[in-house]
Amino acid sequence: MEQPDNSLEIAALAKGFLRIAGVDEVGRGPLAGPVTAAAVVLDLEKLPEGLNDSKKLSAKKRAALAQEIWQRAEVSVAEASVEEIDSINILRASHLAMERAVAALDPPPDYLLIDGNLIPRDLTIKAEAVVKGDGKSVSIAAASIVAKEARDTLMVDLAQQFPGYGWEKNAGYPSKQHREALVELGVTPHHRRSFKPVHKILYQE
């Protein structure tokens, strides 16, 4: 199984960059909740063991790694709200969350490794887009773990306020339980109204 490594970070260091941040977002696909991004500057001498794409880790391992990353690295987490997702679209909102996460790092990074094939347009720091980056770069993998952990925790909290949708298990993704609950219980303030399944329920004839 391929694990992410630090070769992209080392290449950036070789070009003279000193503070390299990995950036990733989670939560583009759910019908509910914000989109969350994280930016992480790792100390390459003190890497947590077992960094990997957050989707390939068990919940327990991911939670333990997230905690370790917060302790050993410089980390920031930011989000874009459901209102922002509905007004500017999910891709732009996920980029906005990334921009906010990068802006919250202090001192600022001087080079960014960004998961995906696009660089958010309002970033002023030199950046490189890395397709499937959470499987290639340890910094992006760390950001994916932190972002997923932060968002899942938030969705568990929201699930207690709005029971029945299964957010504590599905994190707002369109699982069978979630789709059925949408029909039976209706749309909450945390649902993304621009997403088709939600939109259809709101505007049924």
Confidence of residue 205 (pLDDT cuts 50, 70, 90): very low
In degrees, rounded to 5, the angle at the alpha carbon of residue 5 between the alpha carbons of residues 132 and 48 is 110
The pLDDT score that the predictor gives to residue 63 is: 96
**Please, are residues 88 and 51 in contact by the beta-carbon 8 Å criterion?**
no
CA 115 to the chain's CA centroid: 10
User: Is residue 163 domain-resident?
Assistant: no
What pLDDT digit, counting tens, does each position of 67-76 carry? 999 999 999 9
Cα radius of gyration (the chain): 17
The percentage of the chain sitting over the pLDDT mark of 70, rounded to a whole number, equals: 99
Give the C-alpha separation, 38 to 195, whole Å. 23
Note whether residue 61 is domain-resident. Answer: yes
Please give the Cα distance from 148 to 63 (Å, whole number): 9
- Domain span at residue 81 reads 7-149
Half-sphere exposure of 55 (CA within 13 A, CB side): 9
Q: Is residue 87 part of a domain?
A: yes
Asked if pLDDT for residue 204 goes beyond 80, the answer is: no
| pLDDT tier, 2 (very low <50, low <70, confident <90, very high otherwise) | confident
Please check the confidence at residue 107 and state whether its pLDDT lies above 70: yes
pTM, rounded to two decimals = 0.96
Domain tally, the chain? 1
- The β-bridge partners of 84 are none
89 assigned to some structural domain: yes
1 is a domain residue: no
Q: Is residue 167 part of a domain?
A: no
Average pLDDT, integer, range 98-125: 97
Q: CA–CA separation, 168 vs 179, rounded Å?
A: 15
Query: Mean pLDDT score of the chain, rounded to an integer?
Result: 96
Whether residue 127 is contained in a domain is answered as yes
pLDDT tens per residue, range 143-202: 999 999 999 999 999 999 999 999 999 999 999 999 999 999 999 999 999 999 999 988
Q: Is the pLDDT of residue 85 over 80?
A: yes
Residue 60: which CATH number?
3.30.420.10
Within a domain: residue 27?
yes
* 2-17 average pLDDT score: 96
Q: What angle do CA 20, 96, 9 make, to 5 degrees?
A: 15
